[in-house]
Structure 1
Amino acid sequence: MFPWFAIGHMTPFLHLSNKLAEYGHKITFLIPKKAKHQLEHLLLYPSLITLHPITIPHVHPLPPGIETASEIPLHLNNHLATALDLTRPEVESFIITLQPKPHVLFYDMAYWVPEIASKLQIKSVCYNVVCAASLAIALVPALNVGRYQPFTEEDVAKPPPGYPSSNVVFHGPEARSLLFLGLEFGSGLTFYDRMSTALKSCDAIAIRTCREIEDNFCNYISSQYNKPVLLTGPVLPETNNNNPLEARWAEWLSRFEPNSVVFCAFGSQFILEKDQFQELLLGFEMTMVPFLVALKPPQGCGSVEEALPEGFKERVGERGVVHGGWVQQPLILAHPSVGCFVNHCGFGSMWESLMAESQIVMVPQLGDQILNTRLMSGELVVGVEVERTENGWVSKESLCKAIKSVMGEDSEVGCLVRNNHANWRQIMVSQGFMRGYIDSFVKDLELLMG
């Protein structure tokens, strides 16, 4: 396993490793040294899964010692991708000496892994932890944009020919969020070039999704790349009773009625501007319901406390908590007091929100998150996206309106998304659902190896 150096990529790779280890497979997981300590607690089969640390070269202008995407702002990820590519000699040397020789190499951003695999007669699988709808609209060869050329809004605003949905598309200024595809991501190549090469060069494409939700997109990708598309299902870990919810959150949540608390989290990378951060907090205040907000301090602030709106703490009292650090998101979502999950609709949060009983409000920030949101609000109709102003701003009024629309007992929209969400959740929590996907995935890998 060799995932991109971001927690949102390494974690699902490790969850998949745990599932494969259940079948007795041995896995070697290549990982930055710092991330090894961050992820060790997720390891369920240490006798079968080895976390092997690799050295991440320093690349200017990254600060010394940077190894993962969560340590830097988004605009510096380009340089971390260069560092990823510079690990190739170490990675190749290690794989050559690994005994017994591996049967399969899993990767995502390291587009050069198939070249190593081919030389060693090893199968390569490009494992994608974003939704198939996102891969289909952003990375299929049908986009037909010349290499190393910047994309225009016109290039990315309309879906490629044959794209199987009218709901999962970009509208107006949102197309700008896909322009990153044409920007450099690593020395000498664009993000689009990196990912399209990764997908074209592998023996099989794997996606963390299920056919019940994205069958048409998976078929489309398979036809475009002329490769087998293997699905792992959601690959969410079972609740670990040895790792309960932190006492401070369990105690605070227990003060409130069932389904009454709004929980908000936007992932490990995205950092809001101070004005937008404050506007969101005022929106939570306007709801008049209890809320727990877990967001990184906004740009230019050392803590969330110094970024709070004037008088905010006094007005909300014990009803609202704003936390600037990491929280146990799945365990908080499982608490009976939580009735609404406001999230950025990263793919991990998307699956966790579908599996939870709380209602879903989405505030996507980046291209793939917007596509995930379109899937949730347009295709599945299980949640509500917060309306934005023309300049992309989320107002306190629009956030409050979205939350009330899904939590209100008499809300027509709330009734619709609650019923749809309950139906989809019932499918995914049904006995054998996730196990069936892993069973099939293992059989597909065996077929791939011949």
Structure 2
Amino acid sequence: MFPWFATGHMTPFLHLSNELAKRGHKITFLLPHKALLQLQHLNHYPHLITFHTLTIPHVQGLPHGTETASEIPISLNHLLVIAMDRTRDQVEQTLGTMKPDFVLYDTAYWMPQIAKKFGIKTICYTVVCAASTAIVLVPARNVPKDRLISEEELSNPPQGYPSSKVVLKGTEARSLLFISLPFGEGNMTFYDRTTRALRESDAIAIRTIREIEGSFCDYIGTQYGKKVFLTGPVLPNEAVGKLEENLGSWLEGFSPGSVVFCAFGSQINLEKEQFQELLLGFELSGFPFLVALKAPNGCESVEEALPEGFEERVKGIGVISRGWVQQLLILKHSSVGCFVNHCGFGSMWESLMSDKQIVLVPHLGDQMLNTKLLVEELGVAVEVERGENGWVSKEELSKAIKLMMDGDCEVGAKVKRNHIMWKESVGSSNLMNGYIDRFVQNLQDICMSK
């Protein structure tokens, strides 16, 4: 396993490792040392899953000691990927020594080149929604080297794209303009890198299910001329550990379904004004709330970014986390009734598989596509309305929360019914185990075809 050095990529790779190990397979997981400290508690089969740490070289422009994406703003990811590429010799030496049957990777486009030297098969495993891969990363969408892709081009789906609902329009498309920006050395763009990673693999695997994204997966397979294997969302069956005592005690003080929980993942850094506006929106909603957001841009801490008088006003009914929180455990708590999130693919699945009402505030292109899947295709969530400049006001956030928390509201009730239906439809352990079993069989079939 060699995922991109971001929590939202390494964690699903490790969840898949656990499922494979449960079925008797041995895994070597390549990762930075700092990531090992974050992930080792999630290794359920240490006798079969071995962590192999890599030395991450320094790249000019990155803070010294940077090893993972959660340590830096998204704007510096293009430098971290250079550091990742410069571990190539270490990775090649490891593969040459271990000679595994397969390597699963995502952004390391060079992996097939070195794996072929040792007769190793490669699987490009994408842990974002199939819709985002389908709409921007098909060969027909080639971005000219001499210019950036335009907003208009991204607003128009490529030929054969299978949905009229899961499409970014107008200003939404701006969040995808990064695909034609540098992402690595040698003038390589994000688009170049990702399409090459998909194109040169022996097969493509996607962390999704046919019941929701089957048409997108078929489209990707047709475009790349490759087999597309599905693993399901690969979520842990049970949240690991116990809630921090202070937080657990605080949640116990509220009635069932009354608390609003908000988390935007490990990489979203809001501007200070937007950060403050969201907090004021939670206050305006009138519900008790638990918010886990990173300190906004330009601020060293969450404390210095809080609105004036905010802590005093919400004392006892509002908690602002100062660090990482146990998201799955919080979502299991009976006092939590609503999950406000950015709709990263992991949070999307955790939302769908929970029994909490879902309010979405996406920030990046794939998150916006995930949001459209939940809101437009499945009808299980609401998205907070934004102003023309992309601003999320406290009034609109409060309005969306109240809409979902009001048991008598027709819209909220309909969304809740849809959510229950979809959770029951796709959330069974038999269905999810079936995806992993078929994935293992897919890998065995490739081995037999050597």
* TM-score bracket relative to the smaller structure: over 0.9
| Residue 160 of structure 1: aligned partner | 158
2:209 aligned residue: 210
Post-superposition CA distance 1:401-442 (Å, at most 9, x none): 111111111212101110111111112332412111111110
Partner of 1:39: 39
1:71 positional shift: 0.6
Deviation, structure 1 residue 94: 1.4
Letter in 2 for 1:292: L
Give the Å deviation of 1:301: 1.6
CA gap 1:148/1:109 in 2 versus in 1, 3 angstroms: farther
Residue 15 of structure 2 corresponds to 15
Residue of structure 2 in register with 1:292 after alignment:
290
Shift of 1:324: 2.4
Q: Distance in 1 between matches of 2:42 and 2:155?
A: 39
Give the whole-Å Cα distance in 2 for the aligned partners of 1:401 and 1:181.
33
Distance apart, 1:248 and its partner CA: 1.3
Q: 1:402 to 1:224 in 2, by over 3 A?
A: same
**Structure 2 vs 1, CA of residues 328 and 445 (structure 1 numbering), >3 Å: closer, same or farther?**
same
Alignment partner of 1:383 out of 377, 381, 397: 381
* Equivalent residues of 1:128, 1:206 under 8 A apart: yes
Name the structure 2 match of 1:150: 148
> Size of the alignment, in residue pairs?
447
| Distance in 2 separating the partners of 1:169 and 1:270 | 22
More displaced stretch, 298-307 vs 203-212: 298-307
Whether 2:229 is the aligned partner of 1:219: answer no
Q: Secondary structure at the match of 1:432?
A: helix
- 2:80 maps to 1:96: no
Give the SS at the match of 2:315.
Answer: helix
Is the CA contact (8 Å cut-off) linking 1:111 and 1:198 kept in structure 2? yes
Shift of 1:275: 0.3
Q: Which residue is equivalent to 2:321? A: 323
1:17-68 Cα deviation digits (max 9, x unpaired) = 0000011100000011111111110001111010000111111011111110
Task: Tell me: CA distance 1:378–1:229, structure 2 relative to 1, closer, same or farther (3 Å).
Answer: same
1:425-444 equivalences under 5 Å are: 425-444=423-442
2:229 equivalent to 1:230: yes
2: CA distance, partners of 1:308 / 1:183: 34
Cα-to-partner distance string for 1:279-298 (whole Å, 9 max, x where unaligned): 00010011101100010111
Secondary structure in structure 1 of the residue aligned to 2:339:
strand
Corresponding position: 1:350 with 2:348: yes
Letter matched to residue 430 of structure 1: S
- CA apart distance, 1:119: 2.0
Gaps of 5+ in 1: none
Is 2:80 aligned against 1:80? Answer: yes
Letter in 1 for 2:23: Y
Maintained 8 Å contact 1:148/1:182: no
Cα distance in structure 2, aligned partners of 1:429 and 1:148: 46
1:323 Cα offset (Å): 1.1
Q: Name the counterpart of 1:174.
A: 172
Distance in 2 between the 1:324 and 1:270 partners? 15
- Which AA in structure 2 matches 1:290? P
TM-superposed deviation, 1:145: 2.5
Cα-Cα RMSD: 1.0
Letter in 2 for 1:85: D
CA distance in 1, matches of 2:192, 2:145: 7
Instruction: Tell me which residue corresponds to 1:302.
Output: 300
> Which residue of 1 is the match for residue 257 of structure 2?
259
Rounded to whole Å, the distance in 1 between the matches of 2:417 and 2:61 is 50
Q: What letter is aligned with 2:426?
A: M
How much identity, in percent, do the aligned residues show?
63
Q: Any idea what SS the aligned residue of 1:339 has?
A: strand
State the alpha-carbon separation in 2 of the partners of residues 433 and 361 from structure 1.
Answer: 26
Deviation at 1:148, TM superposition (A): 6.0
Q: CA separation in 2, counterparts of 1:21 and 1:258?
A: 37
Structure 2: gaps of 5 or more residues = none
Which region of structure 1 is more displaced relative to structure 2, 231-240 or 74-83? 231-240
Structure 2 distance, partners of 1:149, 1:314, is 51
TM-aligned CA deviation for residue 240 of structure 1: 4.8
Distance in 2 between the 1:315 and 1:66 partners? 38
Aligned letter for 1:381?
G
Secondary structure in 2 matching 1:318: coil
Task: Give, in whole Å, the separation in 2 of the partners of 1:420 and 1:219.
Answer: 25
Contact 2:81 2:183 (C-alpha < 8 Å) held by counterparts:
yes
Equivalent-residue separation in structure 1 for 2:83 and 2:14 (angstroms):
21
SS of the residue aligned with 1:52? strand
- Output aligned runs, 1:360-439, within 5 Å: 360-439=358-437
Contact persistence 2:152–2:170 (CA under 8 A): no
SS of 2:60's partner is coil
Q: 2:274 aligns with which of 273, 276, 279?
A: 276
What TM-score, normalized by structure 2, do the two folds share? 0.98
**Shift in Å at residue 144 of structure 1?**
3.1
Amino acid at match of 1:400: S
Who is 2:134 aligned against?
Answer: 136
Superposed, 1:45-56 pairs within 5 Å as: 45-56=45-56
Within 2, Cα distance between the matches of 1:34 and 1:315?
38
5 Å matches for 1:239-254?
A: 239-240=238-239, 243-254=241-252
